[in-house]
Amino acid sequence: MKLVFAGTPEVAVPALDALLASGRHEVAAVITRPDAPAGRGRRLVASPVAERAEEAGIEVLKPLKPRDEDFLARLREIAPDCCPVVAYGALLPKAALAVPARGWVNLHFSLLPAWRGAAPVQHAVMAGDEVTGASTFLIEEGLDSGPVYGVLTEEVRPADTAGDLLTRLAFAGAGLLAATMDGIEDGVLHAVPQPDEGITLAPKITVEDAQVQWSAPALRVDRVIRGCTPAPGAWTLFRGERLKLIQAAPVLDRTDLAPGELSVAKNNVYVGTGSHAVELLWVQPQGKKPMKGADWARGVRIVPGELVGV
Protein backbone atom coordinates (compact mmCIF):
# COMPACT_ATOMS: atom_id res chain seq x y z
CA MET A 1 0.00 0.00 0.00
CA LYS A 2 0.96 3.63 -0.38
CA LEU A 3 1.12 5.05 3.15
CA VAL A 4 1.23 8.52 4.67
CA PHE A 5 2.47 8.23 8.27
CA ALA A 6 1.30 10.71 10.92
CA GLY A 7 3.26 11.11 14.16
CA THR A 8 5.24 13.63 16.16
CA PRO A 9 7.26 12.59 19.27
CA GLU A 10 10.14 10.18 19.77
CA VAL A 11 7.72 7.42 20.77
CA ALA A 12 6.38 7.39 17.18
CA VAL A 13 9.78 6.89 15.53
CA PRO A 14 10.01 3.08 16.07
CA ALA A 15 6.72 2.63 14.19
CA LEU A 16 7.94 4.76 11.29
CA ASP A 17 11.17 2.76 11.21
CA ALA A 18 9.21 -0.52 11.17
CA LEU A 19 7.14 0.62 8.19
CA LEU A 20 10.21 1.85 6.33
CA ALA A 21 11.93 -1.50 6.94
CA SER A 22 8.95 -3.69 6.08
CA GLY A 23 9.62 -3.71 2.35
CA ARG A 24 5.92 -4.22 1.62
CA HIS A 25 4.64 -0.65 1.69
CA GLU A 26 5.69 2.72 0.35
CA VAL A 27 5.82 5.51 2.93
CA ALA A 28 5.12 8.37 0.52
CA ALA A 29 5.06 11.18 3.09
CA VAL A 30 4.96 11.98 6.78
CA ILE A 31 2.57 14.32 8.60
CA THR A 32 3.83 15.86 11.83
CA ARG A 33 3.25 18.85 14.07
CA PRO A 34 4.97 22.15 13.15
CA ASP A 35 8.44 22.94 14.47
CA ALA A 36 8.26 24.01 18.13
CA PRO A 37 10.53 26.13 20.35
CA ALA A 38 12.86 24.11 22.57
CA GLY A 39 15.89 24.57 24.82
CA ARG A 40 17.13 27.67 26.57
CA GLY A 41 17.33 29.63 23.36
CA ARG A 42 13.75 28.63 22.46
CA ARG A 43 14.79 28.09 18.86
CA LEU A 44 12.43 26.21 16.57
CA VAL A 45 13.16 22.48 16.41
CA ALA A 46 11.65 19.86 14.10
CA SER A 47 9.82 16.94 15.69
CA PRO A 48 11.65 13.59 16.07
CA VAL A 49 9.40 12.11 13.36
CA ALA A 50 10.21 14.98 10.99
CA GLU A 51 13.93 14.51 11.57
CA ARG A 52 13.70 10.77 10.89
CA ALA A 53 11.65 11.31 7.74
CA GLU A 54 14.11 13.89 6.42
CA GLU A 55 16.97 11.44 7.03
CA ALA A 56 15.07 8.89 4.95
CA GLY A 57 14.36 11.40 2.18
CA ILE A 58 10.61 11.40 2.70
CA GLU A 59 8.36 14.40 2.11
CA VAL A 60 7.31 16.04 5.39
CA LEU A 61 3.99 17.86 5.80
CA LYS A 62 3.65 20.20 8.80
CA PRO A 63 0.17 21.75 8.69
CA LEU A 64 -0.70 24.23 11.43
CA LYS A 65 -4.08 22.48 11.48
CA PRO A 66 -5.06 19.30 9.59
CA ARG A 67 -8.09 21.10 8.16
CA ASP A 68 -5.86 23.60 6.27
CA GLU A 69 -6.91 23.44 2.61
CA ASP A 70 -3.34 23.44 1.25
CA PHE A 71 -2.55 20.39 3.37
CA LEU A 72 -5.75 18.58 2.35
CA ALA A 73 -5.06 19.31 -1.31
CA ARG A 74 -1.55 17.83 -1.03
CA LEU A 75 -2.88 14.78 0.80
CA ARG A 76 -5.38 14.19 -2.00
CA GLU A 77 -2.57 14.53 -4.58
CA ILE A 78 -0.52 11.86 -2.81
CA ALA A 79 -3.65 9.66 -2.66
CA PRO A 80 -2.53 7.25 0.09
CA ASP A 81 -4.24 3.89 0.48
CA CYS A 82 -3.93 4.08 4.26
CA CYS A 83 -2.59 6.50 6.89
CA PRO A 84 -1.01 4.88 9.98
CA VAL A 85 -0.91 7.19 13.02
CA VAL A 86 1.15 7.20 16.22
CA ALA A 87 0.85 10.13 18.67
CA TYR A 88 0.29 12.75 15.99
CA GLY A 89 -1.16 15.25 18.43
CA ALA A 90 -4.02 16.88 16.50
CA LEU A 91 -7.62 15.98 15.74
CA LEU A 92 -8.29 14.89 12.18
CA PRO A 93 -11.28 16.50 10.43
CA LYS A 94 -13.80 14.63 8.28
CA ALA A 95 -12.16 15.98 5.13
CA ALA A 96 -8.85 14.34 6.06
CA LEU A 97 -10.43 11.10 7.28
CA ALA A 98 -12.14 10.71 3.90
CA VAL A 99 -8.92 10.79 1.81
CA PRO A 100 -7.32 7.32 2.22
CA ALA A 101 -9.46 4.48 0.85
CA ARG A 102 -8.58 2.24 3.79
CA GLY A 103 -8.75 4.93 6.42
CA TRP A 104 -6.46 6.13 9.18
CA VAL A 105 -5.20 3.42 11.52
CA ASN A 106 -4.01 4.51 14.94
CA LEU A 107 -1.54 2.73 17.22
CA HIS A 108 -2.81 3.50 20.72
CA PHE A 109 -0.93 2.51 23.87
CA SER A 110 -3.70 0.78 25.83
CA LEU A 111 -6.01 -2.21 25.61
CA LEU A 112 -9.04 -0.42 24.21
CA PRO A 113 -11.64 0.47 25.36
CA ALA A 114 -9.55 1.07 28.48
CA TRP A 115 -7.73 4.40 28.72
CA ARG A 116 -9.04 6.27 25.72
CA GLY A 117 -7.32 9.64 25.44
CA ALA A 118 -4.01 11.46 25.38
CA ALA A 119 -2.21 9.81 28.32
CA PRO A 120 -3.06 6.09 28.46
CA VAL A 121 0.29 4.90 29.77
CA GLN A 122 0.47 7.50 32.55
CA HIS A 123 -3.04 6.62 33.71
CA ALA A 124 -2.34 2.88 33.61
CA VAL A 125 0.65 3.34 35.92
CA MET A 126 -1.18 5.74 38.23
CA ALA A 127 -4.16 3.38 38.47
CA GLY A 128 -1.94 0.46 39.46
CA ASP A 129 -2.80 -1.67 36.41
CA GLU A 130 -0.82 -4.90 36.32
CA VAL A 131 -1.26 -5.39 32.57
CA THR A 132 -1.68 -2.91 29.75
CA GLY A 133 -0.82 -3.05 26.05
CA ALA A 134 -1.33 -1.49 22.65
CA SER A 135 -4.14 -1.54 20.09
CA THR A 136 -4.45 -0.68 16.42
CA PHE A 137 -7.83 0.70 15.42
CA LEU A 138 -9.62 2.50 12.62
CA ILE A 139 -9.99 6.17 13.47
CA GLU A 140 -13.52 7.55 13.66
CA GLU A 141 -14.69 10.96 14.80
CA GLY A 142 -15.13 9.75 18.39
CA LEU A 143 -12.28 9.68 20.93
CA ASP A 144 -10.34 6.45 20.32
CA SER A 145 -13.67 4.68 19.78
CA GLY A 146 -13.10 3.02 16.39
CA PRO A 147 -13.10 -0.72 15.70
CA VAL A 148 -9.93 -2.59 16.65
CA TYR A 149 -7.64 -4.50 14.27
CA GLY A 150 -5.14 -5.99 16.70
CA VAL A 151 -3.79 -5.88 20.26
CA LEU A 152 -0.74 -6.87 22.26
CA THR A 153 -0.30 -7.04 26.02
CA GLU A 154 2.53 -5.78 28.21
CA GLU A 155 3.14 -6.35 31.93
CA VAL A 156 3.40 -3.24 34.09
CA ARG A 157 6.43 -3.91 36.26
CA PRO A 158 6.44 -2.75 39.91
CA ALA A 159 9.12 -0.08 39.37
CA ASP A 160 8.00 1.06 35.91
CA THR A 161 7.76 4.75 35.23
CA ALA A 162 5.45 5.91 32.47
CA GLY A 163 8.58 6.53 30.40
CA ASP A 164 9.86 2.97 30.90
CA LEU A 165 6.55 1.43 29.94
CA LEU A 166 5.97 3.73 26.98
CA THR A 167 9.38 2.89 25.53
CA ARG A 168 8.63 -0.84 25.61
CA LEU A 169 5.19 -0.30 24.10
CA ALA A 170 6.60 1.92 21.35
CA PHE A 171 8.89 -0.84 20.09
CA ALA A 172 6.40 -3.68 20.55
CA GLY A 173 3.63 -1.56 19.05
CA ALA A 174 5.75 -0.79 16.00
CA GLY A 175 5.60 -4.45 15.04
CA LEU A 176 1.87 -4.54 15.69
CA LEU A 177 1.28 -1.55 13.41
CA ALA A 178 3.39 -3.04 10.61
CA ALA A 179 1.55 -6.36 10.93
CA THR A 180 -1.76 -4.49 10.84
CA MET A 181 -0.79 -2.82 7.58
CA ASP A 182 0.12 -6.22 6.12
CA GLY A 183 -3.17 -7.75 7.23
CA ILE A 184 -5.21 -4.89 5.79
CA GLU A 185 -3.40 -5.18 2.45
CA ASP A 186 -3.86 -8.95 2.36
CA GLY A 187 -7.55 -8.63 3.18
CA VAL A 188 -7.27 -11.03 6.13
CA LEU A 189 -7.63 -8.50 8.93
CA HIS A 190 -10.98 -6.95 9.79
CA ALA A 191 -11.65 -4.40 12.51
CA VAL A 192 -13.91 -5.50 15.38
CA PRO A 193 -16.11 -2.97 17.24
CA GLN A 194 -15.00 -2.11 20.76
CA PRO A 195 -17.19 -3.41 23.61
CA ASP A 196 -19.46 -0.98 25.40
CA GLU A 197 -18.18 -2.12 28.80
CA GLY A 198 -14.81 -1.28 30.34
CA ILE A 199 -14.45 2.21 28.90
CA THR A 200 -12.06 4.42 30.88
CA LEU A 201 -10.67 7.82 29.95
CA ALA A 202 -7.07 9.03 30.02
CA PRO A 203 -6.99 12.83 29.64
CA LYS A 204 -3.69 14.69 29.49
CA ILE A 205 -1.91 14.84 32.85
CA THR A 206 -1.55 18.49 33.89
CA VAL A 207 1.08 20.00 36.15
CA GLU A 208 -1.62 20.39 38.79
CA ASP A 209 -2.46 16.67 38.53
CA ALA A 210 1.20 15.88 39.17
CA GLN A 211 1.29 17.53 42.61
CA VAL A 212 1.67 14.78 45.21
CA GLN A 213 -0.98 14.63 47.93
CA TRP A 214 0.79 13.31 51.00
CA SER A 215 -2.50 12.41 52.71
CA ALA A 216 -2.92 9.63 50.13
CA PRO A 217 -1.61 6.11 50.86
CA ALA A 218 2.05 5.42 50.10
CA LEU A 219 1.21 3.14 47.16
CA ARG A 220 -0.82 5.94 45.57
CA VAL A 221 2.03 8.41 46.09
CA ASP A 222 4.47 5.98 44.47
CA ARG A 223 2.14 5.46 41.49
CA VAL A 224 1.68 9.18 40.94
CA ILE A 225 5.45 9.74 40.96
CA ARG A 226 6.06 6.87 38.52
CA GLY A 227 3.11 7.79 36.33
CA CYS A 228 4.26 11.40 36.00
CA THR A 229 7.87 10.49 35.17
CA PRO A 230 9.34 11.83 32.95
CA ALA A 231 6.49 14.21 32.11
CA PRO A 232 5.02 16.38 33.44
CA GLY A 233 7.05 15.41 36.52
CA ALA A 234 5.61 14.81 40.00
CA TRP A 235 6.30 17.57 42.50
CA THR A 236 5.67 18.95 45.93
CA LEU A 237 6.38 22.21 47.74
CA PHE A 238 9.33 22.64 50.09
CA ARG A 239 9.93 26.00 51.75
CA GLY A 240 7.73 27.67 49.17
CA GLU A 241 9.50 26.25 46.10
CA ARG A 242 8.74 23.28 43.89
CA LEU A 243 10.67 20.10 44.51
CA LYS A 244 10.47 17.62 41.65
CA LEU A 245 10.10 14.01 42.76
CA ILE A 246 11.86 11.64 40.36
CA GLN A 247 11.96 8.34 42.25
CA ALA A 248 10.57 7.15 45.56
CA ALA A 249 9.91 3.82 47.25
CA PRO A 250 7.31 2.81 49.87
CA VAL A 251 8.79 1.79 53.23
CA LEU A 252 6.36 -0.64 54.78
CA ASP A 253 7.87 -0.69 58.29
CA ARG A 254 7.62 3.08 58.95
CA THR A 255 4.26 4.38 60.11
CA ASP A 256 5.47 6.98 62.60
CA LEU A 257 5.40 10.03 60.29
CA ALA A 258 2.47 12.35 59.70
CA PRO A 259 1.50 13.08 56.06
CA GLY A 260 4.23 15.26 54.56
CA GLU A 261 6.51 15.02 57.59
CA LEU A 262 10.21 14.63 56.76
CA SER A 263 12.63 12.35 58.59
CA VAL A 264 16.36 12.24 57.78
CA ALA A 265 18.76 9.37 58.49
CA LYS A 266 22.44 9.17 57.55
CA ASN A 267 21.82 7.96 53.98
CA ASN A 268 18.04 8.23 53.63
CA VAL A 269 15.22 10.74 53.71
CA TYR A 270 11.63 9.70 54.36
CA VAL A 271 8.25 11.38 54.01
CA GLY A 272 5.05 10.40 55.79
CA THR A 273 1.88 9.64 53.83
CA GLY A 274 -1.67 8.61 54.68
CA SER A 275 -0.37 5.10 55.39
CA HIS A 276 3.33 4.26 55.73
CA ALA A 277 6.33 6.35 54.71
CA VAL A 278 8.06 6.64 51.36
CA GLU A 279 11.79 7.13 50.85
CA LEU A 280 12.80 9.91 48.47
CA LEU A 281 15.47 8.31 46.28
CA TRP A 282 15.91 11.03 43.62
CA VAL A 283 14.69 14.62 43.60
CA GLN A 284 15.33 17.81 41.67
CA PRO A 285 15.21 21.15 43.48
CA GLN A 286 13.99 24.15 41.51
CA GLY A 287 16.71 25.42 39.18
CA LYS A 288 19.12 22.57 39.97
CA LYS A 289 20.09 19.18 38.57
CA PRO A 290 18.63 15.86 39.78
CA MET A 291 20.28 14.52 42.93
CA LYS A 292 19.93 11.73 45.44
CA GLY A 293 17.32 12.43 48.07
CA ALA A 294 19.79 12.01 50.93
CA ASP A 295 22.22 14.52 49.34
CA TRP A 296 19.39 17.02 48.94
CA ALA A 297 18.31 16.56 52.56
CA ARG A 298 21.82 17.16 53.86
CA GLY A 299 22.21 20.27 51.76
CA VAL A 300 19.00 21.96 52.90
CA ARG A 301 19.47 21.02 56.60
CA ILE A 302 15.98 19.78 57.31
CA VAL A 303 14.58 20.71 60.71
CA PRO A 304 12.95 17.89 62.76
CA GLY A 305 9.21 17.85 62.09
CA GLU A 306 9.53 19.94 58.90
CA LEU A 307 6.96 19.26 56.21
CA VAL A 308 6.76 19.07 52.43
CA GLY A 309 3.59 19.95 50.58
CA VAL A 310 2.84 23.20 52.42
Residue among 106, 105, 68 at smallest CA distance from 87? 106
113 appears as a binding residue in the annotation: yes
- 89 by Cβ neighbours in 10 Å (0-12 / 13-18 / 19+) ranks as middle
111 appears as a binding residue in the annotation: yes
110 appears as a binding residue in the annotation: yes
For residue 92, what is the DSSP state? P
Q: How far is CA 250 from CA 54, 106, 211, 223, 307, in A?
A: 45, 37, 17, 10, 18
**Alpha-carbon distance 286 to 303, whole Å?**
20
Those residues with Cβ within 8 angstroms of residue 5's Cβ, 6 or more apart along the chain or in another chain: 15, 16, 19, 27, 29, 30, 31, 49, 53, 83, 84, 85, 86
User: Helical H runs in the chain?
Assistant: 13-22, 48-55, 69-78, 94-97, 120-126, 162-186, 218-227, 293-300
**Alpha-carbon distance 86 to 111, whole Å?**
15
Residues 30 and 208 sit within 8 Å (Cβ to Cβ): no
189 appears as a binding residue in the annotation: no
* Binding-site positions for (6S)-5,6,7,8-tetrahydrofolate: 110-113
Annotated binding site: 110-113
